[in-house]
């Protein structure tokens, strides 16, 4: 059975949002010949300029039949596309007619505008999550997720997460073995689970020059310390109450949650490199014991530490 996968682009789309999934589905065809037909589509067709200026050729999306899956790409142009009644109408109709519909990154804005995410769980790039939740209060935003599936609708986080999404779609169609072969061919992890946190959010909790950037640098280099609110407030020379309020407003998470994420990030790197056992990582990165680290991993990544441990050598 050949499935036609179409990727919707528009002026200002992000190239990798299209190229990543295309590469994954193309690789799948090498292992299961003729599994997929791939096509870029746009409102008017022709050459469509990406946000970086590169132009890709697309087919006009009117009067289509036989498509299996629509993937809506993201990019800075998504907001203009979401104001186009023709584009929104096409996406809405596709949601009713096709077996499956998906978005990469800010492509979720188009799905939501078309009414396809009403009452559903969804994700998008972590930098867009708060704005997305404000614009679409009827959508349950999973801000930490790499990708989500709610019925026939799939959504994914930013840029490289489009490859994770494509691998999940391939596994859904052709099985885990093929998806694993595709990941190996692309030299990417097989497969980051959808519940795994968007690591860039932990790495960039506070941009350089932000009010609490120096404090978070201190936290990263002192993860074995207690690092409770009183200690952090003292380092920031603020009262604990005022510190907690200001930190959450500026960074987007509570101080305790930020510390936990940074501890998980450091422990994850050590486990995946094979440099530490679970017990050693729990001690080194400030978890009182392995069980507390396990609970933190489940909250942040959706998987236990043991699943990310690589044997040394």
Is the full-model pTM beyond 0.85? Answer: no
What is the rounded CA–CA span in Å between residue 178 and residue 244? 47
**Under 8 Å CB-to-CB from 208, ≥6 apart: which residues?**
none
For residue 207, the model assigns a pLDDT of: 56
Count Cα atoms within 13 angstroms, Cβ side, for 13: 32
Q: Which tops the pLDDT comparison, 249 or 101?
A: 101
287-295 long-range contacts, CB within 8 A, separation 24+: 287/263, 293/263, 293/264, 293/267
> What are the tens digits of pLDDT across the range 55-87?
999 999 987 889 999 999 999 999 999 999 999
Query: What span, in angstroms and rounded, lies between the C-alpha atoms of 163 and 23?
Result: 8
Residue 121's pLDDT is what?
92
Position 193 pLDDT exceeds 50: no
- 91 φ/ψ angles, rounded to the nearest 5 degrees: -65, -40
Residue indicated by tokens 């499956």 = 100
For residues 299 and 282, the model is more confident at: 282
The 8-class DSSP code of residue 107 comes to G
Tell me the three state secondary structure of residue 193.
coil
- Catalytic residue numbers read 105
Whether 191 shows a pLDDT value over 60: the answer reads: no
Phi-psi label, residue 46: left if phi above 0, alpha if psi -120 to 50, beta otherwise: left
CB 194 within 8 A of CB 169: no
Q: What is the distance between the alpha carbons of residues 284 and 262, in angstroms, rounded to a whole number?
A: 13
| Neighbouring C-beta atoms of residue 232, cutoff 10 Å | 25
């Amino acid at each position: 059975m050949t499935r036609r996968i179409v990727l919707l682009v528009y002026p200002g789309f992000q190239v990798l949002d299209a190229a990543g999934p295309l590469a994954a589905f193309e690789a799948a065809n090498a292992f299961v010949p003729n599994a997929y037909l791939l096509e870029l589509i746009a409102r008017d067709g022709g050459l469509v300029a990406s946000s970086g200026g590169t132009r890709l050729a697309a087919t006009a999306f009117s009067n289509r039949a036989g498509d299996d899956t629509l993937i809506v790409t993201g990019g800075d142009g998504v907001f203009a596309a979401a104001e186009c009644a023709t584009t929104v109408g096409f996406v809405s109709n596709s949601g009713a007619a096709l077996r499956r519909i998906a978005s990469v990154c800010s492509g979720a804005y188009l799905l939501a505008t078309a009414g396809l995410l009403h009452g559903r769980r969804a994700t998008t790039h972590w930098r867009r999550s708060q704005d997305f939740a404000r614009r679409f209060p009827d959508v349950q935003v999973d801000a930490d997720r790499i990708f989500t599936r709610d019925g026939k609708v799939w959504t994914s986080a930013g840029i490289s997460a489009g490859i994770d999404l494509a691998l999940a779609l391939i596994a859904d169609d052709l099985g885990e073995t093929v998806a694993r072969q595709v990941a190996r061919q692309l030299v990417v992890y097989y497969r980051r689970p959808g519940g795994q946190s968007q690591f860039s959010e932990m790495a960039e909790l506070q941009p350089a020059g932000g009010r609490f950037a120096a404090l978070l640098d201190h936290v990263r280099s002192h993860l074995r310390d207690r690092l409770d609110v009183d200690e952090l407030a003292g380092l920031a020379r603020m009262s604990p109450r005022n510190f907690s309020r200001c930190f959450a407003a500026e960074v987007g998470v509570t101080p305790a949650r930020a510390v936990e994420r940074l501890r998980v990030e450091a422990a994850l790197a050590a486990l995946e490199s094979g440099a530490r056992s679970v017990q050693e990582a729990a001690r080194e990165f400030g978890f009182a014991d392995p069980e507390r680290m396990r609970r933190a991993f489940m909250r942040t990544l959706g998987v236990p530490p043991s699943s990310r441990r690589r044997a040394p050598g």
